[in-house]
Each structure stands twice: as C-alpha cells, then as structure tokens.
Amino acid sequence: MALSQGLQHKLLQKLSPQQIQLMKLLQVPTANLEERIKEELEENPALEQSDEESDEQHNEEMADEFDSSEEENYDLDGSEEEYDSLDINDYVNEGDDDIADYKTREDNYSDQEERKTTPVKLETSFYEVLLQQLGMLKLDEKRQVIAEQIVGSIDDDGYLRRENAAIVNDLAFRQNIDSNEQEVESIILLIQQFDPPGICARDLQECLLIQLRHKLKTNQSKDIQSAIVILEKYFDEFTKKHYEKIQRSLSMDDEQLKAVIHQIIKLNPKPGGNVGHVNKAETYIVPDFFIVNNNGKLELTLNSRNAPDLRISEGYRDMLKEYDRGTKRDKRQKEAVMFIKQKIDAARWFIDAIKQRQNTLLHTMSSIMKHQEDFFLTGDETTLRPMILKDIAEKTGLDISTVSRVANSKFVQTEFGTYRLKFFFSESLSTENGEEVSTREVKKILFDMVDAEEKRKPLSDERLTELLQEKGYNIARRTVAKYREQLNIPVARLRKQL
C-alpha cells in the first residue's frame, strides 16, 4: 500500500493551564483559599504577598547570583538559539510607571497594620480523656495493654463497635498478647464505669441502660426502675412507639408512661460527642459573601479573604534588570533567566486566576441576589422563587458547570442567618392557578404544618397532602412523603407524643 499525505481540518477544544487553574480555584471555599495561596507562595518564589517589612537584604542576595567572577563550564540542554532569542523587555519594564506603594501611605501608617498574635486554644481529645481515667485503674501490664486497645477502638460517639473476638485477634497479631473474650469483657465492664456514663457501650440499648443504672445508684426512683425494665424487655416496642403494648404489659397509665419516657429522653445517645475539645475546621463556617439591606437596597460584598494582595517579587525583577544592563552574558546567567521567566509567568497566571475568581464569584452571587431579592429583603422562605443552575447561567453568560462550582461549598451571610448557596436553588411546582412556586416554599409550609400539629394525634401523609391541596398546591402524596424525608421528619406514628 502506497504512502500518501493530506491536509485535514479538525476543531478541537482544549483547556489552557490558566483555565484549569481557575476551575480548581472556583471550587475552593474561602476557608481553604488562604491555604491554597500559601502553597502557591511556597512553590513559586516569584510570587509574594505584600507586607510592611522590607526585603532589601533578601533581594540583594538574590541579585548576587548573577555576579559570576569566575568562568564555569556549565552544560545546558537548550540550544544557543533559544538563549539568544530571550526577550525580557516586558518583564523589566513592567510596573515602572506605577506609583510605588510606599508613596501612597501616610507617615504615621504603622499602628493600623501591627501584627497581632493569635491565641491558640489548648485542645484535649476524647481519646486522651479516656486514657486519663484509665490511668486511675490499678492494672497489671497485660491488662493495661488490653484496656488501651479497647479504648483505642471506641469511636467518637463513645461506642465500641468491634466484637470481643476481633479485639482478641488484634491483641494477638498486633500486640503479641494472648487473651480471651472473657478477659476482654471484664475490662470493658470497667471502662463502662468511666465518665460520662454510657461510654464503651456496644449499641444504643446498652448505652441508655448504663446511664440509667448509673442514675439508680444515687436515685432509687420508681420511674428510673420502670425505664430500665422497658429498655431491657420492650426496647423494640419503645423505639417504634407502640406505647399501648407497653402499657398493657406493665399495667401503666398515660401519666406513668409519660414520666418514664421523660427519664429516657433526658439520656445522652452519644456520650462521646460532648467529651474533649477538638478544633475541626469543617465545624466553622466562613461566609464567602455578605449581603446587607441598606434602606431597602441590597448591597453585596465579597469576603476580603478572597482578595489577597499578591504581586510579582521585586527581587526577581531586579535580577532581570541586572541581566538586561549587563554586557557579559554567559550560559549560566541565561539559564537562570529562563527559570525566572517561567516563575514570573506562573505568578502572573495565579494572580490573574485569583482576580478572575473574584469577578466570577461576585457576578454569580449578584445574579442570585437579584433573582431572590424578596427573600434577602424579608428572610421569608416562602418568597423564594424557583431557580436552577441554568437560570443563573443564562443571566451571567457562564457555563452551568461554572455556576455549579461557584455554588459548591460557598456560603452567604445575611441579616437572617448564613446560608449555603445551594439553599437558593430549587425546582418549581405548579399551583391550581398555573403559577410556578419554589419547592422550598412547599417544604417550609409542610414543616410549619408538622410543627403546629397536635402531638397526640400527628398528621398523616394523606392529611398533609389534603391540607396542601386546600392551599392550592397541586401535589401528590408520594411527593409529600419525599419532602418530609428530605426535611428529616419521621412518619406520623413516630411523631406521636403522650
């Protein structure tokens, strides 16, 4: 077969490195943006963050790298033409016409930007609290290792969810200790006496019983004794709220059962959740936007953490200027210049990506604010309008994927609380008049109905559907059940109270 050549046109779409970097930055929430910037500052020496301190000495040391008094035999991979074609005019002259930062400051500018020391909270983990109590037990070396293995197997809620046989195997293979299930069980019973009561239980039933028995040591109340009997013999009936069966079996009236239930609901189902103080970043919400109602006019601002003062290092520019003014240019210097140009280009890309991130965030949030203006003025969830990603994409001219990245993990602080951006996105539901309303509005009305119902006779899904249809919402019973589950509202039988 003969070889042949031909021309062919192809239309390809490829993302540039800047676009990929921007897409990644859009997904980063404000709380993690500072860490991302620190990573870039560490990786790229040509990028720096403005501060008050002078780096003249550091710049002089960097500039001295070009001062080569001795000839060196420096082998390079690049060609001679590559070095001869270096053009650094754009890098050397950039910023020469700008007003220096120090010229725009006042003489007495030091007090406002003093560095403040941030106090660090002393934290004690749940595991350390248990080890402190374990140290009060007089155990031999073998039982001490077994106890530490058990404590290390307790999860953050305070439960021991590993079987005794699995703990015995762990001790044999990892600690080289020969033990048995009876010995492990005896130590578990000791750990279950730790504070707070309920620690090291295998399931919810055992956790509640440990707490009730701990109460019984100081209070021989009949209600506590009855609560222990109910949890021991009628735990399934109690969790499913089959109160009639419990009353018939124990010959209890409504008031007696109500007093027993009151004792049980005061117990802590997660005893480990309140022990120790651990600083978890995900528990803190840093809003990305702020919306303020100024005399009926909404004002949107971006969190200042999204606008760091980044710039190209002056020391690296001085190095290029030194190279441009010099007459003697060996290969070593030219290779260094190539490295500096790459780092400066990367710094420019990152600074542009940060600025574009700010503009995209503000543009998208501004469209959301205008679409949901009634809610931001009143705080009433029933005023939320139907809104999907496509609506905002059409208003902003951005791609739907870009809007999705902006809405992901972002928060806005308003006068009525702090909300996820995803909170404002919802599907539409038609009313009898043909008007489209947000499903968020229907969920709010559904929640209010359940909250106002008579707890002795809670509303069923059928009844909730009838009430919503009376209000003009065209909705099916299965849709009501779906919305109820999304609101974490149990079925009517489990909402019943005595």
pLDDT 10s digits, 319-351: 777 766 665 566 777 777 778 778 888 888 888
116 three-state secondary structure: coil
Residue 358 near residue 300, CB atoms below 8 Å: no
99: tokens are 């007003």
Stated as kind and residue range, the H or E segment containing 429 is: strand 428-430
Length of the chain, in residues:
498
Partners of 48 in the β-ladder:
311
Q: End-to-end alpha-carbon separation of the chain, Å?
A: 90
CB 408, CB 27: distance < 8 Å: yes
Q: How far is Cα 316 from Cα 84, in angstroms, rounded to an integer?
A: 20
Residue 487 has a pLDDT of 87
Buried b (16+ CB within 10 A) or exposed e, 214-252: bbeeeeeeebbebbbebbeebeeebeebebeebeeeeeb
Among 494, 425, 408, 498, smallest CA distance to 459 is for 494
Question: DSSP characters for 19-47?
Answer: HHHHHHHHHS-HHHHHHHHHHHHHH-TTE
- Whether a cis peptide bond, with omega within 30° of 0, leads into 269 is no
Q: Do 188 and 181 form a contact (C-beta atoms < 8 A)?
A: no
Give residue 64's pLDDT: 46
Give the tokens for residue 296: 């009926």
Place of tokens 């031999």: 140
Residue 377's contacts (CB-CB under 8 Å, 6 or more residues apart) are 293, 296, 298
How far apart CA 436 and CA 367 sit, in angstroms, is 20
Dump strand ranges (E) for 331-394: none
Alpha-carbon gap, residue 408 to 402, rounded angstroms: 10
The two most distant CA atoms of the chain are separated, in Å, by 105
Strands 428-430 and 436-438: antiparallel
H or E element in which residue 198 lies: none
Q: Which is nearest to 341 in space by CA: 64, 95, 92, 96?
A: 92
pLDDT value for 207: 92
The crossing angle, in degrees rounded to 10, of helices 222-233 and 254-265 is 80
Tokens found for residue 387: 């809104």
Residue 441 backbone dihedrals phi, psi, to 5 degrees: -65, -40
In this structure, the strands spanning 289-294 and 297-302 are antiparallel
Q: CB of 494 within 8 A of CB of 471?
A: no
Query: For residue 274, what are its two tokens?
Result: 């309140």
> How is the beta sheet containing 297-302 ordered, strand by strand?
297-302, 289-294, 411-414, 417-420
Q: Which helix (H) or strand (E) holds 413?
A: strand 411-414
Alpha carbon distance 18, 24 (integer Å): 10
pLDDT of 281: 45
- Of the candidates 387, 415, 444, 391, the one whose C-alpha atom is nearest the C-alpha of residue 296 is 415
Residue 387 phi/psi, 5-degree rounding, is -155, 125
Q: Strand 411-414 vs strand 289-294: parallel, antiparallel, or unpaired?
A: parallel
Residues lower than pLDDT 50 in the chain? 52-80, 83, 96-114, 116, 118, 277-282
Burial class (CB in 10 A: 0-12, 13-18, 19+), 15: exposed
As a dihedral over the C-alpha atoms of residue 110, residue 111, residue 114, residue 120, rounded to 10 degrees, the angle is 180
3-state secondary structure at position 96: coil
CA separation for the pair 34, 224 (Å, rounded): 53
> In this structure, what token pair is assigned to residue 281?
């970043």
